A = this chain, B = another copy of it.
Amino acid sequence: MQYEILDKINSPADLKLLSVAQLNKLASELRDYITQSVSQTGGHLASNLGVVELTIAMHYVFDFSADRLLWDVGHQCYAHKILTGRRELFKKLRQKDGVSGFPNPAESPYDQFVVGHAGSSIPTALGLALASQKLGTKEKIIAFVGDASIVNGLSFEALNNLGLVKRQLLVVLNDNSMAIDSTQGAIAQFLAKVRLSHTYEDLRRRTDRILEYLPVFGKKMEDALKNFKRTVRMAITPNRLFESLNIPYFGPVDGHDTASLIQLFKAVSHLETPAVLHVYTKKGRGFSPADDNPTRFHSTGPFEINGEEFKKDEQKKTFTECFSDCIVELAKENEKITAITAAMSDGTGLAAFREQFKDRYYDVGIAESAAVDIAAGQAKLGLKPFVCIYSTFLQRSFDQIFQEVALQNLPVVFCIDRAGLVGADGPTHHGLMDIGFLRMMPNMVLISPANGVELKGALKFAAESNCPVAIRYPKDYVDDSLCPEIFSRPFEMGKSIVLRQGRNKLALVAYGSMAIEALKAAQALTSDNIDITVINARFAKPIDEKIVSLLAGGLCIITIEDHAAAGGFGSAVLEAAANAGLDTAKITVLGAGDKFIQADKRAEQLKQCGMSAQKIVEAVRKIVNAG
C-alpha cells in the first residue's frame, strides 16, 4: 500500500509541517496502516485505533526527543511508534528483530520506559518531574493513562502525591470506557455517568472555554480555574474527583478532533503545575469489526482484514480453554466456589463462568492487590475463591498473598495463567518468577499441570484443599496425547508421578508443561540408545521426597521448568537434596537464565532458554557423554 502523507513521515519533525487537513488525512492513513499491519502480525488493535488523533496532536505540539511521553500499560503506542521512525519495522510488530508491542527505549529515544503493566505512568512521571525540578531542566512531561489504569492503586498513590511537583506535569486521561456495564468500580461508573451526561456540543463548548481561560501567558492558574468553573456549568464533571486530590482538571474534551486537541495541548503545556486533561476517545474507532467488538479486538492474533479471525487449530485446546471448562464444572458441583479476576475475564478464561455464575463472579478492574484480599475475606467466611490473574500481574499481589492469605492459611486458589514464557508480549509479560516468590511462603502449595488432563486434576485437588494452592500454566496449547492413563491419576499432596522408567542412571524431572518436552526428549534419545526416566513433579512445594531419593539411588537429575532458574523449581530440588545430606548430588537445573527474554514466538523462546525437547536432548547427551 502507498500512503500519500504517512510515507513521508520519518520523524515527528515531518508531521509538524502539515496542515490540519493533512493531519486528518494522516490520521486516516495511520488507522489503515495499523489495521493492515496488525491483521498480519497480531497485536492490540482497538486501543491503538482510538488514540490516533491524540498521538498526532501530542507529537505536533511537543517535541518528544526532549519532552517525555510516558505511556501507561503501553500497548496503545502503535501510532507513536510509526510516527517516530519505526514505520517499516512496525510490519514486524512483536516479532524477533521487529518492534516490540510496548514502548522500548532500546528501539527509540522517543520511548522512555519498557512498560506493560498498568499504573506506572503517573508515578514515573512524578519521579521525572521531581528530578527535573531538582536539576532545573525544562522538558515537558506527559503521562498518558487510560480510564482502566487510573483506578489502579499505583496510579492513585501517585495522584495523591502529585503535590510534590511544583512544575509542569500533564496527565492525559484517555477515557474510552464503553458503557456502564463494561466498566468496574466506582470511578469507572462515575466517569461513565459523566460521559452519558454530555452531548457532542458540550464537548466543543468546553474546549472553547478552556482555551479562552487557560493562562497561556503567565495568567494565574487559580484565576483560570475559577473562571473556567464559572463558565462551564455541567450537571456532573469529574472535577470533584480530582479536586479532593488538589489536581487542576480540564475536560472532558473530544479526543478525535485533531485541531482542538492541538490548541488544548498548546494551552495546557504552559501550566506550571500538574494538571489533568480528560479526553474522550472511542476504542477501535474507524475499523468496523473493532468498533463493534472492542473487547474481542483488545489484543488479537493475526486476523483477516474483514475482521474474521484466522482459523484456529480446532484439534488443539489451550490451557486457558481447559481451565474455562474445568472451573465451570467444579462450580456446578460446589456452590462455594467463586471466581475473581482483575480486568482479565476473557484472558483468564472466565467468560463462561461469568455467564453461568454471575453472582459468584467478581471483576475488580486492574486491582490485583485488592483482588487477593477480597478472596482472603471470602475464604475466611467459608467460600472457596479462585483468583485468576496472569503470573506477571500477580507480582502486584505478592504482599497480599503473603500476609492476607498464606499467613492466615486461607484456602484461596490462585489460577496463574501466562506462567512462563509468553511469546510476543515479551519481557514485561513473562511469568518467570511466580514459583520463586510463592514458594518462600509457609502454608503455600504449588502445582503445575503438564497438560489439560492434569489441569483438571490439579483444579479438583485445589478445590478440595484446606490451604492456599497456586496452579501455574502457560500460554500454550495442551498436549493430552501422551500416556493419558498416567496423567489422569488423581493429585496427591506433594506426590510426583513417573511418566517413563528408563535404564540409564539419569532422570528428567519436569515441572508443568515441560513434562511433555521431557517425554519427547526421552523418546528422541532412544535412537541414541539412551533410556532415561521421566518424572512429572506436579508439585514445586512440597517437593516429593521420591525425587531426592533418586539421587540417593545414584541417578543424575535434570530439572526442567518454564521459570527463572534462580529460585525456581530446580532450586527447590537442590535445597531438598542439600537438606537430605546425600553423599553426592548431581543435579542440572534447566530454566530461564539471568536475562530478559525479548518478544518472539514462545517455541523460540523456550529453545533460547534451553527448555525445548531438542535442548533437553542436548543436555542429556552432554551428561551421558561426560559420565
Contact = CB atoms under 8 A, between A and B. Distances in A.
Most B CB atoms within 10 A — which of A134, A440, A575? A440
Contact of A581 (B159, B369, B585, B595): B585
A135 interface: yes
A566 interface: yes
A468 to B, nearest CB: 13
A188 B247 CA distance: 14
A127 B375 contact: yes
Contacts of A246: 186, 189-190
Please classify the interface of chain A as helix (H, G, I), strand (E, B), loop, or mixed, using the class held by over half of its residues.
helix
Interface in A581-610: 581-589, 594-596
A249 to B, nearest CB: 11
A411 B238 CA distance: 38
Contacts of A113: 376, 380, 404, 408
A123 interface: yes
A194 B441 CA distance: 42
A240 interface: yes
A370 B128 contact: no
A268 interface: no
A457 interface: no
A12 interface: no
A157 B408 contact: no
Contacts of A241: 244
Given A131-B378, A156-B156, A359-B134, A370 B126 contact: yes
Contact of A380 (B124, B134, B437): B124
Most B CB atoms within 10 A — which of A105, A128, A189, A589? A128
B127 A376 contact: yes
Interface string A534-577: 00000000000000000100000000000011110011101101
A313 interface: no
A107 to B, nearest CB: 13
Contacts of A161: 184-186, 364-365, 367, 370, 374
A533 interface: no
A407 B395 CA distance: 14
Interface in A360-397: 360, 362, 364-365, 367, 369-370, 373-383, 385, 393, 395-396
A74 to B, nearest CB: 10
Interface in A100-131: 105, 112-117, 120, 123-131
A554 to B, nearest CB: 12
Contacts of A362: 130, 164
Interface residues of A, number: 118
Interface stretch (A322-330, A427-435, A517-525): A427-435
Interface in A319-363: 338, 359-360, 362
Contacts of A238: 244
A151 interface: yes
A288 interface: no
Contact of A373 (B123, B432, B440): B123
Contacts of A338: 130, 134
Contacts of A485: none
A433 B439 CA distance: 10
Contacts of A566: 439-440, 572, 575
A244 to B, nearest CB: 4
A403 B71 CA distance: 14
Contacts of A373: 120, 123-124, 126-127, 154, 158
A162 interface: yes
Contacts of A583: 584-586
B407 A114 contact: yes
Nearest to A428: B403
B402 A395 contact: yes
A243 B193 CA distance: 13
B364 A245 contact: no
A398 interface: yes
Nearest to A132: B381
A433 B581 CA distance: 24
Interface string A293-332: 0000000000000000000000000000000000000000
A436 B567 contact: yes
A153 B383 contact: no
Contact of A582 (B137, B364, B564, B585): B585
A36 interface: no
A163 B370 CA distance: 14
Contacts of A587: 578, 584
A400 interface: yes
A77 to B, nearest CB: 16
A579 interface: yes
B157 A186 contact: no
Contact of A135 (B156, B381, B579): B381
Nearest to A581: B585
B398 A437 contact: yes
A447 to B, nearest CB: 17
A560 to B, nearest CB: 13
29 contacts: A114-B403, A127-B373, A128-B380, A129-B377, A130-B362, A130-B377, A135-B381, A151-B157, A156-B156, A161-B186, A161-B367, A161-B370, A186-B247, A190-B245, A190-B246, A240-B240, A240-B243, A241-B244, A393-B399, A395-B399, A396-B398, A398-B437, A407-B428, A432-B440, A439-B566, A440-B566, A577-B585, A578-B585, A584-B587
Which 7 residue pairs spanning A and B have beta carbons closest together? A127-B377, A153-B153, A123-B373, A157-B370, A131-B381, A157-B367, A395-B399
Given A114-B407, A157-B367, A238-B244, 8 more contacts: A120-B404, A127-B377, A132-B381, A153-B154, A158-B373, A161-B185, A240-B240, A436-B567
